[in-house]
């Protein structure tokens, strides 16, 4: 939704965003290239679907039902007493300053993290083509962070930038920057964002390198013959062709920023100082699994689910029509 | 995709815990089968790791060797919070251990959980006689409800003032002053004379020592209804007492780089044991780390008090107790009782206290240690017990009993951090802590009405 703004693709995509999916639902209206299998009896289809449906049942429907049912009660963590409280868990959350602050931080954090990750990964992927010597080392160094567990990398970042003992913090101090993530919320937010981006750049990088390799060499050579330099070729030939990958990465980055950064947050700031780096998901975890306020935690996850659904729909509506899937 | 991912995360956490519980259960089954003829297996989940974990293992081995009916199996489940969460997840699916170690902060949560067998009742039913009157007053007072001990105090502690004697000598002092006002002058002198850049390290549990403990020692009320001893209708009022001045002093120290926040990735204890920071207010259990890690002339003394406080009172207890969970067989309960009886013995108590730095919780154990001359060799080991037992406890100093106290602790931590960052004034942050804390208390009261 963001990264695609400057990279507007062709405008001849379907007018209705979900029409491509809608077409698949109508069995006989198959166009060329779209394959549909038909079963005489429904039995086999049901059997083939069963494993996936079972997984969905256990990993999605039952937990969703649990979260929904917990969101409207207050419960003793041991399961002894359950009190129906209606919407109280939600009203308390929405009235809470710290929850609103957490939502605002989460919003900016995921967006900035997304743009920065894609931008840096894009730059590195573009540069990969230009690196001739030591390409293997170059790639290895970039891919390394992905192999490190989030909590371990979080501890490393926390230590390196610790204002009392961290070497990076000393360096910043020597430049005259009063770096202190324990006392300056902005510093903590910067630290979390940098750590999250560092951890995820390699993921985007792999996909972008692969996508760039798939760009037909003939197109690039043709552009080169027409006198386009490497940068121009990248933006006018490669980028439009790799847009589906970029779109996929935008969604993956949002997923990562929203849901997978809590290991890093736990290790680097534990949501502090004063809740400055408390994302919505970290709060769900903190309130539910550490502080055992299950009702509030369930209500938060229901709100998160709603936000995620709205975001996904918005992204598909806003972005998908600008992405060209056909080369 | 988003929906799936969210649910995956939750299920992942849930399943990890369930899997751990199931695994523990499965292991219990197999070894039960193997030893069905010989010993009854009693599982104990605890939060003691590192050096303390080794001492716990030794304790268990000693018990197992002392008799041949029961076998206690100790399992370290991580931190106190992690152990507690694991225990609750296991309890909900019926895979919980017989014994669990839980902090003093979760006392009320455990007491009214409906999941525990009060230790006093268990010991009586199993025919063990324990002289509960012999337990040190603030410890006994905390764990005994309606004349029945709900849990067995195991590793009890309190906060003391640690200091670097080299730094104090270099600044021209014999040792730390006993009032906050004079200590304030000393800390600034240490800083200004360039003896050290960090006059004090801020402990992670400073709310327990420098706010709750501060209120107890100086006899300031922390909440109504005798700090929760009078009933579940208690309300926090610490935003109206000298606590405001205390937090303002801490804020001033932090702004002037006198008080150092360690932050994530660094333990504040290390800031003290490395010789960087001159003082540190922390649990007496820090003895294990200081004795093995500090390579300078360290010492400790009593927590400071306010200048106007003529006779400082006892401080509050910390540490944890052992709870017996319901839903276990008679044999397992009998095994738990035998183990608790072993732990309550003066010899075990004295050994445990000597090894760890936790306070001896019975007078008999304390006297045993005195008679052995232990405190003459290790004078700082006696500070905690002397501080816990001094004076006559008042309603303000006997202890804190609040429902879901962990949640309030987290809320206060967040609010006070916004004081350090300058986003809120001290009064605003304490008012907000009290308001949010009282919501948590009311939530607990509603859920446990009539208990």
* B262:A164 CB<8 A: yes
Confidence of residue B11 (pLDDT cuts 50, 70, 90): very low
At residue B202 the predicted structure's pLDDT band, cuts being 50, 70 and 90, is: very high
Closest approach of B210 to chain A, Cα-based (Å): 19
Give yes or no for residue A15 having a pLDDT over 90.
Answer: no
| CATH of the domain spanning B2-157+319-371 | 3.40.190.10
**Percent of chain A scoring above 90 in pLDDT:** 28
Nearest residue, CB atoms, A64 vs list B7, B13, B421:
B7
Above 60 in pLDDT, residue A34?
no
Give me the pLDDT at residue B12, please.
43
Least CB–CB distance from B265: residue in A158, A183, A292: A158
- Chain A residue nearest residue B82, CA to CA: A290
Q: Is B263 on the interface with A (CB under 8 A)?
A: yes
Which 2-31 residues of chain B touch chain A by CB within 8 A? 2-11, 13-14
Of the listed ranges A256-260, B43-47, B236-240, B447-451, the least confidently predicted one is B447-451
Q: Per-residue confidence at A324, pLDDT binned at 50, 70, 90?
A: low
Please identify, in words, the CATH class of the domain defined by A5-35+91-322: mainly alpha
C-alpha A58, offset from chain centre: 24
B1 pLDDT higher than 90: no
Q: Which of B152, B143, B157, B114 is nearest to B338 (CA)?
A: B152
Q: Give the residues across from B42 on adjacent strands.
A: B72
Q: What is the pLDDT of residues B314-372, one digit of tens each?
A: 999 999 999 999 999 999 999 999 999 999 999 999 999 998 989 998 999 999 999 99
CB distance B421–A185 less than 8 Å?
A: yes
* Terminal alpha carbon distance of chain A: 21
Contact between chains at B85 and A60 (C-beta distance less than 8 A): no
**What Cα–Cα distance (Å) separates residue B215 from each residue in B185, B210, B305, B394, B396?**
22, 8, 10, 11, 7
Q: Please give the pLDDT value at position A31.
A: 47
Per-residue pLDDT at B91 exceeds 90: yes
A123 CA: distance to closest CA in chain B (Å)? 27
Equal fold, B2-157+319-371 vs B159-316+392-447: yes
Lowest-confidence region among A190-194, B10-14, B175-179, B244-248 = B10-14
DSSP secondary structure letter of residue A84 = E
Q: Where are the domains of chain B?
A: 2-157+319-371, 159-316+392-447
Weakest-pLDDT range from A131-135, B405-409, B429-433: A131-135
What is the rounded distance in angstroms from the CA atom of residue B37 to the CA atom of residue B231? 47
Q: Which of B94-103, B134-143, B335-344, B360-369 has the lowest mean pLDDT?
A: B134-143
Nearest neighbour of A255 by CB, restricted to B2, B91, B115: B2
Any CB–CB contact under 8 A between B94 and chain A?
Answer: no
Mean pLDDT over all residues of chain B? 88
pLDDT at A23 over 80: no
Does the beta carbon of B109 lie under 8 angstroms from any beta carbon of chain A?
yes
Instruction: State the pLDDT at residue B333.
Output: 93
Closest A-chain CA to B89: A78
pLDDT (average), residues A151-175: 89
- What confidence tier does A118 reach under pLDDT thresholds 50, 70, 90? very high
Q: Where are the domains of chain A?
A: 5-35+91-322, 39-64
Angle, vertex CA A115, rays to CA A263 and CA A169, nearest 5: 55
Q: What is the pLDDT of residue A38?
A: 67
- Percent of chain A residues past pLDDT 70, beyond the cut: 84
Average pLDDT over every residue of A80-104: 89
CB contact under 8 A, B417 and A272: yes
- Confidence at A318, pLDDT banded by 50, 70, 90: low
- CA torsion, points A124, A129, A131, A132, in degrees to nearest 10? 160
pLDDT in tens, B272-303: 999 999 999 999 999 988 988 899 999 999 99
Q: Which residue of A has its CA nearest to B266?
A: A159
Minimal C-alpha gap between B443 and chain A (Å)? 8
State the average pLDDT over residues A210-223: 89
CA B429-B435-B436 angle, 5° bins: 90
List CB contacts (< 8 A) between B80 and chain A: none
Range from B22-26, B46-50, B366-370 carrying the lowest mean pLDDT: B22-26
Chain B positions touching A293 (Cβ under 8 A) are 404, 407
Mean pLDDT of all residues in B370-375 = 92
| Per-position b or e across B100-134, b if 16+ CB within 10 A of its CB | bbbbbbbbbbbbbbebbbbbbebbeebeeebebeb
Q: Tell me the pLDDT band of A313, cut-offs 50, 70 and 90.
A: confident
Does the structural domain B159-316+392-447 have CATH classification 3.40.50.410? no
Please state the φ and ψ torsions of residue B386, each to the nearest 5 degrees: -65, -40
- What per-residue confidence (pLDDT) applies to B213? 95
Residues of B in contact with A77 (CB under 8 A): 88, 109, 113
């Amino acid at each position: 939704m963001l990264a695609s703004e400057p990279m507007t693709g062709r405008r001849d995509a379907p007018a209705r965003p979900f029409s491509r999916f809608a077409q698949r639902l109508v069995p006989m209206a198959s166009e060329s290239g779209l394959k549909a299998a038909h079963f005489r009896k429904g039995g086999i289809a049901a059997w083939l679907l069963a494993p996936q449906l079972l997984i969905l049942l256990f990993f999605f429907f039952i937990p969703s039902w649990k979260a929904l049912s917990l969101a409207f009660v207050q419960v003793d963590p041991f399961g002894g007493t359950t009190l129906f409280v209606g919407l109280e868990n939600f009203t308390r959350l929405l009235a809470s300053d710290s929850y609103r602050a957490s939502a605002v931080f989460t919003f900016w954090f995921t967006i900035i993290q997304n743009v920065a990750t894609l931008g840096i990964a894009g730059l590195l992927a573009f540069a990969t083509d230009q690196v001739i010597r030591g390409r293997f080392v170059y790639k290895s160094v970039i891919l390394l962070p992905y192999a490190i567990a989030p909590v371990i990398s979080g501890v490393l970042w926390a230590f390196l930038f610790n204002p009392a003992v961290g070497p990076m913090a000393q360096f910043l101090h020597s430049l005259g920057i009063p770096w202190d993530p324990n006392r300056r919320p902005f510093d903590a937010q910067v630290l979390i964002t940098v750590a999250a981006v560092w951890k995820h750049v390699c993921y985007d990088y792999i996909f972008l390198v692969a996508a760039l390799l798939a760009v037909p060499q003939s197109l690039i050579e043709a552009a080169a013959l027409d006198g386009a330099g490497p940068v121009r070729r990248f933006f006018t030939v490669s980028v439009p062709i790799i847009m589906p990958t970029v779109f996929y990465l935008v969604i993956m980055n949002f997923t990562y920023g929203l849901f997978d950064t809590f290991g890093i947050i736990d290790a680097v700031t534990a949501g502090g100082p004063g809740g400055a780096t408390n994302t919505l998901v970290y709060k769900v975890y903190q309130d539910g699994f550490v502080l055992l306020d299950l009702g509030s935690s369930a209500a938060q996850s229901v709100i998160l689910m709603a936000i995620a659904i709205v975001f996904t729909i918005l992204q598909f509506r806003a972005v998908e029509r600008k992405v060209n899937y056909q080369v | 995709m988003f929906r799936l991912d969210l649910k995956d995360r939750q299920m992942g956490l849930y399943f990890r815990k369930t899997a751990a519980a199931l695994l523990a259960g499965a292991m219990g089954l197999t070894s039960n089968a193997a030893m069905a003829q010989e010993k009854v297996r009693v599982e104990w989940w605890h939060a003691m790791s590192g050096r303390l974990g080794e001492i716990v293992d030794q304790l268990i081995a000693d018990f197992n060797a002392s008799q041949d009916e029961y076998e206690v199996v100790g399992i370290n489940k991580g931190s106190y919070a992690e152990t507690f969460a694991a225990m609750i997840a296991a309890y909900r699916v019926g895979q919980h251990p017989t014994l669990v170690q839980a902090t003093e902060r979760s006392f009320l949560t455990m007491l009214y959980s409906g999941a525990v067998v009060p230790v006093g009742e268990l010991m009586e039913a199993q025919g063990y006689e324990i002289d509960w009157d012999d337990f040190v007053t603030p410890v006994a007072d905390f764990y005994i409800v309606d004349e029945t001990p709900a849990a067995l105090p195991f590793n009890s502690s309190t906060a003391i003032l640690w200091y670097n004697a080299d730094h104090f000598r270099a600044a021209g002092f014999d040792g730390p002053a006993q009032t906050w006002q004079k200590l304030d002058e000393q800390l600034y002198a240490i800083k200004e004379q360039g003896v050290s850049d960090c006059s004090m390290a801020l402990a992670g549990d400073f709310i327990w020592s420098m706010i709750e403990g501060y209120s107890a020692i100086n006899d300031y009320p922390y909440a109504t209804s005798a700090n929760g001893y009078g009933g579940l209708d208690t309300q926090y009022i610490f935003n109206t007492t000298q606590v405001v001045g205390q937090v303002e002093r801490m804020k001033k120290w932090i702004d002037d780089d006198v008080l150092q926040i360690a932050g994530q990735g660094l333990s504040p204890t290390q800031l003290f044991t490395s010789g960087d920071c001159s003082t540190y207010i922390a649990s007496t259990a820090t003895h294990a780390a200081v004795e093995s890690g500090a390579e300078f002339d360290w010492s400790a003394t009593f927590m400071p008090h306010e200048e106007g406080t003529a006779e400082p009172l006892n401080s509050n207890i910390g540490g944890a107790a052992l709870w017996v969970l319901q839903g276990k067989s008679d044999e397992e309960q009998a095994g738990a009782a035998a183990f608790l009886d072993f732990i309550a013995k003066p010899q075990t108590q004295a050994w445990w206290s000597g090894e760890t730095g936790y306070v001896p919780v019975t007078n008999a154990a304390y006297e045993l240690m005195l008679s052995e001359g232990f405190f003459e060799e290790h004078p700082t080991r006696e500070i905690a017990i002397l501080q816990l037992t001094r004076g006559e406890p008042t309603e303000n100093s006997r202890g804190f009993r609040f429902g879901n106290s962990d949640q309030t602790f987290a809320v206060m931590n967040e609010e006070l951090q916004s004081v350090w960052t300058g986003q809120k004034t001290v009064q605003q942050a304490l008012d907000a802590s009290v308001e949010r804390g009282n919501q948590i208390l009311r939530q607990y009261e509603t859920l446990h009405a009539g208990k």
